[in-house]
Structure 1
Amino acid sequence: MDARGIIATLRDGATPSREDLQWFARGLADHSVTDAQAGAFAMAALLNGMSDEGRVALTLAMRDSGDVLAWDLPGPVLDKHSTGGVGDCVSLVLAPALAACGAYVPMISGRGLGHTGGTLDKLEAIPGLVTSLEEARFRDIVSKTGCAIVSASAGIAPADKRLYAVRDVTSTVESLDLITASILSKKLAAGLEGLVLDVKIGSGAFMKTMDEAKSLAEALVTTANEAGCRTAAVISDMSQPLAPALGNALEVAASCDVLSGRAKGPLLELTAMLGGVVLEGAGLAKDVSDGTSKILDAIASGQAAEIFGRMVAAMGGPVHFIDNPSRFLPEATVIREIPAPADGYVAAMDGQALGLAVVDLGGGRKVETDEVDFAVGLSDMLPLGTKVVKGQPLGRVHATRMDSATMAVRAVIGAVTLSDEAPEVPSLIHEGIG
Structure 2
Amino acid sequence: MSMSASSETAFAAVDIIRAKRDGLALNPAQIDWVIDAYVRGEVAEEQMAALAMAIVLNGMDRQEIARWTRAMIDSGRRMDFSGLTRHGRRLPTVDKHSTGGVGDKITLPLAPLVAAHGVAVPQLSGRGLGHTGGTLDKLEAIPGWRADLDHDQIVRQLESVGAVVCAAGGDLAPADKKLYALRDVTGTVESIPLIASSIMSKKIAEGAEALVLDVKVGAGAFMKDARSAGELAETMVGLGTDAGLTTIALLTDMSAPLGHAVGNACEVAESVEVLAGGGPSDVVGLTLALAGEMLRAAGVEADPADALRDGRAMDAWRAMIAAQGGDPKAPLPQARISETVSADSDGVVTSLDAMGIGLASWGLGAGRARREDPVQPAAGVVLRAKPGDTVRRGQILATMHTDSASAVTAAADRIRSAYGIESLHGAAAAAGAREPGDRSTPRANVLLGRVAAEDL
3-state SS, counterpart of residue 261 of structure 2 = coil
Q: Secondary structure at the match of 1:405?
A: helix
Unaligned runs of 5+ in 1: 286-290
Supply the distance in 2 between the matched residues of 1:165 and 1:263 (Cα, whole angstroms): 36
**How many corresponding residue pairs?**
421
From 335, 351, 356, give the equivalent of 2:354: 351
Aligned to 2:336: 333
2:78 alignment counterpart? 68
Distance in 1 between residues matched to 2:320 and 2:118, nearest whole Å:
15
1:388 corresponds to 2:391? yes
1:301 alignment partner in structure 2:
310
Quote the Cα distance in structure 2 between the aligned partners of 1:169 and 1:406. Answer: 29
CA drift of 1:27 comes to: 2.0
Contact 1:245 1:381 in 2 (8 A): no
Q: Following superposition, which runs of at least 4 residues in structure 1 exceed 3 angstroms of deviation? A: 422-426
CA distance in 2, matches of 1:40, 1:187: 26
Measure the CA separation in 2 of the matches of 1:303 and 1:14: 54
Give, in angstroms, the shift of residue 264 of structure 1. Answer: 4.4
Question: Which residue of the other structure, out of 214, 230, 233, is the alignment partner of 1:198?
Answer: 214
**Counterpart residue number, 1:51:** 61
1:19 to 2:29 alignment: yes
* Residue of structure 2 equivalent to 1:8: 18
1:173-252 superposed matches below 5 A: 173-252=189-268
Please name the residue that 1:168 is paired with. 184
- Specify the code of the residue in structure 2 equivalent to 1:41: L
**Letter of the 1:25 counterpart:** I
Q: Give percent identity, aligned residues only.
A: 42
CA distance in 2, matches of 1:26, 1:396: 49
**Contact 1:237-1:426 at 8 Å conserved across structures:** no
Decide which structure has greater helix share. 1
Instruction: Give the TM-score normalised by the residue count of structure 1.
Output: 0.94
CA distance in 1, matches of 2:177, 2:19: 23
* Partner residue in 1 for 2:437: none
Partners of 2:298 and 2:18 lie apart in 1 by 41
- Matched with 1:427 is 445
Read off the aligned partner of 2:347 and give its amino acid letter: G
Query: Does residue 408 of the first structure (1) align with residue 411 of the second (2)?
Result: yes
Residues in 2 aligned to 1:381 and 1:189: alpha-carbon distance in whole angstroms: 41
8 Å contact from structure 1 (residues 242, 266) kept in 2: yes
In the alignment, is the contact (CA less than 8 A) between 2:350 and 2:388 conserved in 1?
yes
CA RMSD of aligned residues (A): 1.5
Equivalent residue runs for 1:265-304 within 5 Å: 265-285=281-301, 291=302, 293=303, 295-304=304-313
Q: Distance in 2 between matches of 1:31 and 1:317?
A: 40
Structure 2: state its 5+ residue gaps. Answer: 1-9, 85-89, 433-442
Q: Is the 8 A contact 2:116 2:312 kept in 1?
A: yes
Rounded Cα–Cα distance in structure 2 between residues aligned with 1:401 and 1:204: 24
- Cα distance in 2 for partners of 1:342, 1:262 equals 31
Determine which structure has more spread, i.e. the larger CA radius of gyration. Answer: 2
Amino acid at match of 2:310: S
* 1:134 equivalenced with 2:150 (yes/no): yes
